[in-house]
Structures are given as C-alpha cells and as structure tokens.
Structure 1
Amino acid sequence: MSRTWTSVRSLLPGRADYRVLRTSWRSDLLAGITVGIVALPLALAFGVSSGAGAAAGLITAIVAGLVAAVFGGSNVQVSGPTGAMVVVLAPIVVSHGVGAVVVVSVLAGVIVLLGGLLRLGRTVSYLPWPVIEGFTVGIGVIIFLQQIPAAVGASATGRSTNSAVAAIESVAAADWPAALLPIAAVVAVAVVMLSLGRVSGRLPASFIAIVVVTLASLVFALPLATIGALPHSLPLPAFPVVEMGSLASLVGPAFAVAALAAIESLLSARVAASMADTGPYNPDRELVGQGLASIASGFFGGMPATGAIARTAVNVRSGARTRASAIVHSLALLAVVYLAANVVAVIPLAALSGVLIVTAARMISPTMIKQVLRSTRSDAIVFVVTALITVSFDLIIAVGIGIGVAAFFALRALSTASGVRREELPGDPAVGDERIALFRIDGSLFFGAAERLLDRISSHRGIEVVIVRLSQLQLVDATGAHTLAELVTALERRGVTVLIKGIRPEHLQLLDRLGVIGSLRHPNHLFAELDPAIAHARSHIARSHTARSSVPRVGDATA
C-alpha cells in the first residue's frame, strides 16, 4: 500500500516543487514576465495559423500554461500552443471545423493523461535522433508554408489541407500588386527580429518587431488585415458539445495530437533539464500535467498544448529556477486579456506571419542537417524520409515510418554483428577430433538473424558431435530459441549428438520453455564449462568408434 501511494504521490504537486522559491522568487518573477512577453505574439500567431483564432491561442497559453506549470514534471518547462501542434491542427480545422479543436483537445488530453498514469513517459527515449531532427525540419517547412496565405493577404479557407498545395493556391489567388503590402510587413518583422537577435539574445525580438510594424500600420493607416476583436476576459469553462457521429471521426486525430503532445513535451522537458541545474524532470508526471493542461484548455475553448522548447529556453536563460516562472508567464498573459485586448486587436496578421516565418527558419539548422547527413548512410536515409513524409503527408505518419526505417537499419546492423564461428578444439588433438565441431554463437540470436546463423551450423556434414557455445550470446528472443530447438532436433534426427555449453542464467528459462533443453538426447548434454563438454564429446566418439569396430564385416573368418 505504501509503495502504491509513493508511486501516485510522485505524479502530484508538492512543496518540494518550490523549495528554492524563497531565494529565487526575484529571478523567477523576471523570467516569467520575460517569457510572457515572448509568448504573446507566438500564442496569437499559432492560434491564427491553426485556424482556431488568436483568442484560442491566447487562452491556451494562459490556461494550459498554468495547469502544466503546476502539475507537470519539469521545474522550468513553459507550455502552450506550438508550431508542431499547429501543423496537426490546421488540417483538422479544414476537415472538421473550428469546433472540433475543442473536442480534440479534451480527447487528446485524456489520452496523454492516461499515458502518464500508465508510466509511459520513458518511451520518448526510444525515438532515434535522425527521426526527431527529420520531423523538426519538416515542421519548420510546414510552418513556413502555412504563413504564405497571410503573407500575401489571401485566405487559405476552403483550400487544400496540404500546406504546400494551399500555399501555391494562395499565391495564385492573391490580389497583386496589393499583396506586396503584407509581404513588406512580413519582411519588416523578419528584419527587426534578425537584427535584434544579433544585438542580444535576451531581447524579446518578436514582441518588439510586432510593436514596430503595428505602430507603422496605425500611423500610416495601412490597409492590413488585423487580428480583430478579442474577449476582455476568459470565457467560463464549459463541456464541449459534440455529436456522437462526429465524435468517432475525431478519435483518430485525437490520438495523433496526443502522440505529438507527448513527444514534444517530453523532448522539451529533457532539453530543459540539460540546460540548467534545476533538478531532474519526471516524464510520467510531465504527461499527467500536459494531459490535464489540454483538458483544461479545451474546457475554456482553447487548443491542445505541449511543452514549448523555444519559450522554455528563454525561461531558463532568463534565470528561472522553479515552476513559479511559468505560472507568472500565464498570469502576465492573463493581464493582457483583461487590460490590453483592444491593443492586441489591431496587430496585423502579416506581422504574426513574419514572426512564425522567422521561427520556422530557426527550426531548420544547416549545421544539424550536415551532421545528420554526414553521420551514416542509414541515419541520413531515416532523416530525409522522415522530413519528406512530414511535409508531404502527416507528422505522426512520418514519425511512425521514420521509426520503422530506423528499426530496419538497426536490426540489419544487429543481425550483421551476430555470427556463428567454428573454433578449434582447445588442448592437444585426439583421435576423432575431426568428427567434433565446436561452434560459438556471438551477439544476438533473434528473429532477424536466427535462421541465417543456425543454417551455417546445420550445413556442416561428416560431423558426429556438435558443441554449441552460448556463453557469448547477449540477446535471444522467442524466434531465436525456437529455431535453436529445431536445429537440435534436426541434428539429432540425423544421428548427430548435440551438446550445449554455457547457457547464461537470463536465457535459461526462455530456452527451457521453448524446448531447446528438452530436444537434447540426454539431460547431461547440457554443460556449464567447455572442458567437460569436449571430454564428453571425445568419449562419445571413442564409444562410437569401438562400436563400429566390433561389428563383424561380411567375409570375415568370424562371420
């Protein structure tokens, strides 16, 4: 009972989350305000880009950011709407409407929450690095393409769910040369952000760029589309209304959103833990916190949330030490809703597109791409395949296929590293040694290598005794054990005596259950050491030779 309570307690908030707050509250407060300033344009931009609206993005940053900060497993993680989530949500909005986002948010939150309760947090460590970088590059490309309609002043509504096709259609449908004005706003934002980034990494470049372009738009009365009216307060929480017929069609998208939320949040938390000495993160609690965050966001009319790597990095660099900074970030955004909604409403949509275009460009690191492409051929293939499928089809499908391709190359490498080697019998040679074969199986005996390896043993002829050394066998699965049992049975059926030496304790139960030991001619054909096995094989050869010598030959005088 105490162990169960300890396990549950590790997933809940506690006083330990704020043990250093007494000394760090000033830096946490400053970091939270800084992250809030950085998060404001991103929250608005991601909300608009997803199709759910700027208000949904802002609500998500406030509600989900607060809930994830309190219940999540990282002390410095900042959560909210992210570019990767926009990539998944935009097609959902096109196919099912804006109202589906709220339902998907709640469903995905429940799935992520269950993942945390089932202790699935460590599974993200199984994602290969080329897969992670591949879909990161793909996400960057898609975010860039998604901004093209707003950048040229054309709506993507009713167009293709594929971002590349929608971008082409938007450019074709744009009102030229009037489209040059929003393009100029995008360029201005990009120039300001990149220039300030070179001056100091601590400046809220996106916030300043949006202020500059918005002021220019107001002063010169530029005809740029704006965000429009925002609510002056948070809406009351409400349970999403959905018809049962449409609910079934949203289950698949909800699982896709949940998978992305879990992957991105755990990756962000892991990066945060490596950036600062603020304590380790709890991956299972992180899933619980993110699940609750998306559920709460859905109840308030927001979007699914994830941990945000960029905002988390700003939080850490600004001196955050506890989760209080992420809480302050949400409260700062809440103050914007109540105090500055009218000001935010006049921000040009093209300015938000400029912020996301720069964000997308920063996600694509030429140095990282060179590193992956120069690593190994298999890793380069995994990276390219994942990136291409992400852009062409779907992010979750891309991750699945990327993992599958990586697994194929890993299994091929593992199979190649495994082998069967015939060894010379140690010590002085004895009569009949040529009829004894000593084989050593190295590496792994699993479904990808078992049949190929064991075929090499069974192909030897003129042998009366086979000794199989398993002490160097590192891995064996059910297929390998079953194939080994079939080999022993086949050799014994041919009159070849099989001796097995050195079964490791961790493999003994599996080999016994699948009939390897039972297929031996006699229980004493199982040995722990090599010398007794060789002595037994030589005695067997000697007895066989004596038996053959005592058989009368046709034509002998004794016949």
Structure 2
Amino acid sequence: MKYIRTLLPSWSDYRSVRRTWRGDLVAGITVGIVALPLALAFGVSSGAGAGAGLVTAIVAGVIAAVFGGSNIQVSGPTGAMVVVLGPIVVSHGVGAVAVVALMAGVVVLIAGALKLGRVVSYIPWPVIEGFTLGIAVIIFLQQVPAALGAKAGPSSNAFVSAFESLQTVNPATLGYSLAAVAIVAAIMVIAPRIHRQLPGSLIAIVIVSVIAGVAALPLVRIGVLPSSLPVPGLPSIDPTQLGGLVGPALTVAALAAIESLLSARVAASISDTGPYDADRELVGQGLASIASGFFGGMPATGAIARTAVNVRSGGKTRLAAILHALVLLAVVSLATGVVSQIPLAALSGVLMVTATRMVSISTMRSVLTSTRSDAVVFIITALITVSFDLIIAVGIGIAVAAFFALRMLAQSGGVHREELPPPSLPGDERIALFRLDGALFFGAADRMLERVNAITNVTVVIIRMSQLQVLDATGARVIAEMVHALESRGITVLIKGIQPQHLKLATQVGVISSLRHQNHLFNDIDSAVAHARDHVNRAAASQVDHPVR
C-alpha cells in the first residue's frame, strides 16, 4: 500500500502553487498557444484527424499532468507517435487508433506498477540521438505530400510515400501550397529572433489562414472539427482485428514509455522543480493514453518541445500543464469554426520546421566525432528508424552498442606474467606469477585460459586476482578449469587475493575446490611466493632422492 500511494497524486504536488501560480498561469497559456497548431498538425499527419489531435492534447494533457511523475512535463500527441500511428491507420483504419491507445495505455500502466521506469536509463546516448534523427527525417518526409498539395502515396514507408505523392501533384495549386509552407517556415524562424516568447507557429498559421481566406486560395483546409469533447466510451472495432493490433500496441507502448521518460529526464535537468518519479510517470502516461482512447483520441507521450516551452515560460508545478489543456478546451468550445479553415499546407510547414529543429548539428557532430563505435551505433539506429521501425531501431541500436561495450570491456581485461618480488632466489624460474586485470567474463575468458595453459617448465603457478574488477560465472568457471588442467599436469596452483565480492561465485563454480589444498589460497603475495618456493625446493629435493633412470 505504501508503494501504491507513491504512484498516486497527493496534495504535496501543489504545495508551492501559492507562490508560483502567476508563473504557472502565464506558462499554461503560452504552452496552450504553442500546442494548438502542433496538436492539429499531429492529428492530421497521423491520419486520425485534427480533432483526434486536439482531444488527445486536452484529455491526455490533464490526466498525465495530475497522475504523472514530473512537475512540469506537458503531454499530448507527438511526432514520434505519429510516425508509428500512420501505418496502423493505413492497415487497420482510423478506428484502430483509439483501440491501440487503450491497449498501449494498459501496458504502460502495468510497466509503471512493476517499477520498470528506470529501464530507459540503460539506453545509450548514440541510440537516443540516432532515434531522434530518424524520427525527424520521417516527420519531415510525411509532410511532403501536404506541402505539395498532393495525396500521400500508398506505401507505409515515409520516403516511398513522399516519392509516390509526386505523381499526384496538381501544377495549378503547387505554387500556393509551397508559398504557404515558405511563409510559415520564415515566420517560425524569424519570430524567436524578435522575442523568444513569440509563438511563431501560431502567428504563421494565423497569417497564412487569413491570406488564404481573403484571397480564396485553392488550398485544402482542415475541415469540420468537433465543437466539444466527444462522449467517452469504448471504441468500436471488429473483435477479430484485436489480435492484429497486439503488435502495434506493444510498439506504441514501448515508444510512449521511452519518449515520456526521456522527456521527463531532460525536463528535470533544465528546471529547478526537483527530480521526477519514473515509475509514477509511466503510470500517469498509461492512464493518459487510456483516457484518450475512451474519448476517441490518440496515444499520448511526454512532449519535450512543449515541456521546454513550459519551463522557459515560468512553469513550476502541474498547474501549468493542466491550464494548457484548458486553453485547448476553450479553443474546441469557442473557435472550431475558425480553426477548421486552417490550410493543411500551413500545418505541414509547422511540422517541417519542428522536425528540422529536432536535429542538432552540434550534437550530431559530437556523436560522430566521439568514438568510432558510437558513430556506428548512431548511424545504424537512424537508418533503421527511417527504413523499418522505431522500436526495432532502438532494439538493434542497443544490441550494437552492447556489442561494442562488451568488446571494449573484454579488451580492458588481461593476463600478465610478472616477476617475483625481490630478492631473486635459485628455483624462482620454476615459478610463474600471473596477474589478472580488468574484467574476466564470457567475452575474455578463453584468451586468458590459452595464455596460462601454454606455459611450460614450471612447478608452481601463482594467480593474482586482487586486480580483477569484473568476474562472471563463465570467467570463474574458466579459472576452475585452468586450475584443474594445471594440477593434472603436476603443476601446483596458488591463488592470491580473491576479492570478497568474487569469493562466493568462485566457491560456487568450483574455483576453490579445484585447488590441491585449501591452504593454497592466500591474502598477500609474500606468503604465496614463500609457499611456492617451498614447493619448488621440496620438488628439487625429491628429484635428488629419487633420480629419474
């Protein structure tokens, strides 16, 4: 029960509202203005419709703000989610989006309840950046048809679909569509340079919409929008389709968890509102997607761009994110007639600029010039994201990064033959002292085994393990096999300096029992060398008393 209470809202979430409400009010209104064109654009781009984007931003925005684990996270429809939802709409229809939102929300909710929130911290930086680059490219490509005033191609691949759309371009309207995109892009670039708080995307959409309306330009508009929130209820879908939606729902759930936790982590690093609770954030995002699905919306995630606007605008508590959703609700209630006349080309311009801003040239340069392995991981993740699937890209990126990490770890380990401590005594040439360094695990164990087993003309082998930092079961088993092999050749093995954290493993896999005698385990090198010299002397004496004939 104590753990469950940590996942639920409490009055402590709003303890500082008395001091911060003015900043939260300004931030909430600002984020709401910024979120309006994005919610519309993401809804249209996903295929679910502008209304679904608005519903998601409102419903999921409130639920995630109240139940989530971040004080300043703003949630709603995002570009990454649009990339996944597009193929789902093509394959299963618009009605499947709300069902997927419900199914994915349940998965994310369970993940939070099972304390899986910290898993995202294991995703390497090059994978995250490659993933982000791939998403940005896909979002940009998805806007090409609308920017050209054409129909999207039938392919689910963004690049192929954009190329196919070129065949449906209408030369009579092409110039108007491109002009709308150019005006939006120019205003979004110029507005922040005039004042960082200016909502460039909203200003751009208003200007383009006014020009298109006054001049009666032949541009495709958003169309009819709901004037109120839909009545909540279970989405209707053929039960036979549910099995085919399990895979897409798991993909959406994984993406929602990854993107939300990454956004919350970044938000915590750029604000002074305290840390975030990763498990509670998953619970909040799961509930947000479930609620969005009941209202006919899309799956939701934390949105880093809107969250950053919230921080820059003075947001300190969850009140700001709640107010942002209320601003959008006011738009739905009071201004859907006006909003319905926004040209789709203007929204495509907003998303093209947004996608471009997702890519940081300096960050790309840092990754590509860091190490060769990191650059490979970054490029592979980005290419697979664009070519195949987002979650597959993350999985392969992590696998490639793990391969390079294991290879580096294996290379850090080694076995080195050392000289015995002075003074040198007769018979010391019959003693081999080996030091194990770094990591001894499945990736490096065989190399050590070959090195030690290759020695000849010795009577005693001393293995120093005090410098060994990493030891797994495979490495320990290899040591046991090595000791057994040496002992079977008549070579006495002494082990010096097993660290306390390795002793239990070494005992369980047979390292200790493989020694000829329990007294062959030492804590200091001098005692081990003295014992080895005694063995050599007794072996020499035995040869004198019993010469070989």
TM-score by length of 2: 0.98
Match of 2:367 among 340, 351, 372: 372
Spell out, residue by residue over 1:215-241, the C-alpha distance to the aligned partner (whole angstroms, 9 max, x if none): 111111112111111111111111233
Structure 2 residue 57 is matched with structure 1 residue 61: yes
Instruction: State the distance in 1 between where 2:237 and 2:457 align.
Output: 74
Amino acid of the structure 2 residue aligned with 1:131: V
Instruction: State the distance in 2 between where 1:65 and 1:366 align.
Output: 31
Instruction: State the distance in 2 between where 1:456 and 1:402 align.
Output: 34
* 1:393-404 aligned within 5 A: 393-404=388-399
Match of 1:265 among 241, 260, 264: 260
Residue matched to 1:197: 192
Amino acid of the structure 2 residue aligned with 1:368: T
Instruction: State the distance in 1 between where 2:472 and 2:114 align.
Output: 25
Residue matched to 1:106: 102
Spell out, residue by residue over 1:284-331, the C-alpha distance to the aligned partner (whole angstroms, 9 max, x if none): 111111111111111111111110000000000000010100000111
Structure 2 residue 463 is matched with structure 1 residue 468: yes
How far the C-alpha of 1:488 sits from its partner, in A, is: 1.3
* 1:145-164 aligned within 5 A: 145-156=141-152, 159-164=154-159
How far the C-alpha of 1:108 sits from its partner, in A, is: 1.1
Match of 1:297 among 289, 292, 296: 292
SS at 1:466 equivalent: strand
- Please give the root-mean-square deviation of Cα atoms over the aligned residues, in Å: 1.2
SS at 1:225 equivalent: coil
* 8 Å CA contact retained: 2:191, 2:198: yes
Structure 2 residue 524 is matched with structure 1 residue 542: no
How far the C-alpha of 1:553 sits from its partner, in A, is: 5.1
Higher mean displacement: 530-539 or 40-49: 530-539
Ranges in structure 2 where 5+ consecutive residues have no aligned partner: none
Higher mean displacement: 93-102 or 354-363: 93-102
How far the C-alpha of 1:454 sits from its partner, in A, is: 2.4
Structure 2 residue 296 is matched with structure 1 residue 333: no
Structure 2 residue 59 is matched with structure 1 residue 71: no
Amino acid of the structure 2 residue aligned with 1:230: L
Ranges in structure 1 where 5+ consecutive residues have no aligned partner: 555-559
Higher mean displacement: 60-69 or 527-536: 527-536
Structure 2 residue 22 is matched with structure 1 residue 7: no
* 8 Å CA contact retained: 2:40, 2:50: yes
Spell out, residue by residue over 1:229-266, the C-alpha distance to the aligned partner (whole angstroms, 9 max, x if none): 11111111112334443212111111111111111111
Structure 2 residue 89 is matched with structure 1 residue 93: yes
Instruction: State the distance in 2 between where 1:431 and 1:97 align.
Output: 86
How far the C-alpha of 1:453 sits from its partner, in A, is: 2.1
How far the C-alpha of 1:434 sits from its partner, in A, is: 0.8
Report the CA distance shift for 1:54/1:547 in structure 2 as closer, same or farther (over 3 A). same
Residue matched to 2:511: 516
SS at 2:229 equivalent: coil
Report the CA distance shift for 1:167/1:499 in structure 2 as closer, same or farther (over 3 A). same
Residue matched to 2:248: 253
Residue matched to 1:135: 131
Instruction: State the distance in 2 between where 1:552 and 1:81 align.
Output: 87
Match of 2:37 among 41, 56, 76: 41
Instruction: State the distance in 1 between where 2:515 and 2:5 align.
Output: 51
Amino acid of the structure 2 residue aligned with 1:34: T
Residue matched to 1:224: 219
Spell out, residue by residue over 1:155-207, the C-alpha distance to the aligned partner (whole angstroms, 9 max, x if none): 226x1000000000001221124222111111111111111122122111101
The count of aligned residue pairs is 549
How far the C-alpha of 1:365 sits from its partner, in A, is: 1.6
Instruction: State the distance in 2 between where 1:195 and 1:552 align.
Output: 96
Amino acid of the structure 2 residue aligned with 1:100: A
Report the CA distance shift for 1:329/1:429 in structure 2 as closer, same or farther (over 3 A). same
Match of 2:111 among 112, 115, 126: 115
Amino acid of the structure 2 residue aligned with 1:127: I
